[in-house]
Amino acid sequence: MNRIVVLNPKGGSGKTTIATNLASYFASQQQKPVLMDFDPQGSTLRWVRKRQPTQPPIHVIAAFEKDPRTTRSFQLRVPVGSTHVIVDTPAAVDPRLLPELTRDARKIIVPVLPSDIDIHACSRCIRDLLLVAKIRREHDRIGVVANRIRRHTLTYQSLIRFLETLGIPIVATLRDSQNYLRAAELGVGVHEMKSYIVREDVEEWRPLIQWLEVASGGC
């Protein structure tokens, strides 16, 4: 089973958008994805509940809920036969929790927006993954997604220059598209929308999907 963690302690970076669209993609490929929602806002949970019975199924676990009547491991169990577990992490996560959140993760996706505040937050996040969670660069488990990008702007160019200094691959660059807002409203992902509407968005996901399919070391 492939475990993918979407992580950035900075709120509003697009973690839920990436997590839900990944689950949508895998479901559309006849896989059996599980979304594990650790964010108390429950956005991922609400997205799954909007899906129609005719759409490919996606199992969701409300990991942010605590039930004293059951063990934590029982609460977080995934259905037999699941192919992917996609973890949507909360904002302001304590760095001390990173080893637990990233344990057994095949890939860790760090979304970042093109702003000075977000670039600084991304820098801290990468540092904590390397130093606290002990993720090694050479294992190719961490990838950055430049999110809500408007190309040919100064902020975009500053973001790319910064990301190139990290020694962490930029595995996708996603444009600032209204299609993601529409998909969130409908409980779908861009891969499930009409192809002529989302052709450019879907194409931008291709390198991320390819990176996820490459085996990681040290996992």
Please say if the pLDDT value at position 171 is more than 90: yes
Q: What is the CA radius of gyration of the chain?
A: 17
| 77-93 pLDDT per residue, tens | 999 999 999 999 999 89
Assess contact for 7 and 102: CB atoms under 8 A. yes
Q: Is residue 49, in this structure, part of any structural domain at all? A: yes
The pLDDT of residue 172 is above 90:
yes
End-to-end Cα, the chain, rounded Å: 12
Nearest residue to 108 (alpha-carbon basis) of 218, 1, 8: 8
pLDDT at 153: 81
In a domain, 48, yes or no: yes
Q: Would you state the structure tokens that stand for residue 180, as one six-digit string?
A: 């993601």
Residue 219: inside a domain: no
pLDDT mean over 131-143: 93
pLDDT at 219 over 60: no
| Distance separating alpha carbons of residues 98 and 4, to the nearest angstrom | 14
Q: Is 177 among the domain residues?
A: yes
Residue 63 has pLDDT above 70, yes or no: yes
Beta-bridge mates of residue 145 = 111, 172
**pTM recorded for the entire structure:** 0.93
Q: Which residues contact 193 (CB under 8 A, 6 or more apart)?
A: 179, 182, 183
pLDDT in tens, 178-191: 999 999 999 999 99
Residue type, 15: K
pLDDT per residue as tens digits for the range 105-115:
999 999 999 88
Residue 64 falls inside a structural domain: yes
Whether the CB-CB separation of 39 and 89 falls below 8 Å is answered with yes
Could you count the other beta carbons within 10 Å of the beta carbon of residue 41?
Answer: 14
Q: How far apart are CA 4 and CA 88, in angstroms?
A: 9
Structural domain count of the chain: 1
Amino acid at 199: R
Order of strands across the sheet that contains 84-88: 59-61, 33-37, 84-88, 2-6, 107-112, 142-149, 170-175
Distance, in Å, from the CA atom of 38 to the CA atom of 71, rounded to the nearest integer, reads 16
For residue 218, being part of any structural domain is answered with no
Could you report the per-residue pLDDT of 147-163, keeping only the tens digit for each?
A: 998 877 888 888 888 88
CA dihedral 121→103→89→132, nearest 10 degrees, is -20
Q: Give the CATH number for residue 186.
A: 3.40.50.300
Q: What is the pLDDT of residues 34-62, one digit of tens each?
A: 999 999 999 999 999 999 999 999 999 99
Structural domain range at position 207: 2-213
Alpha carbon 6 to its chain centroid, in Å, reads 3
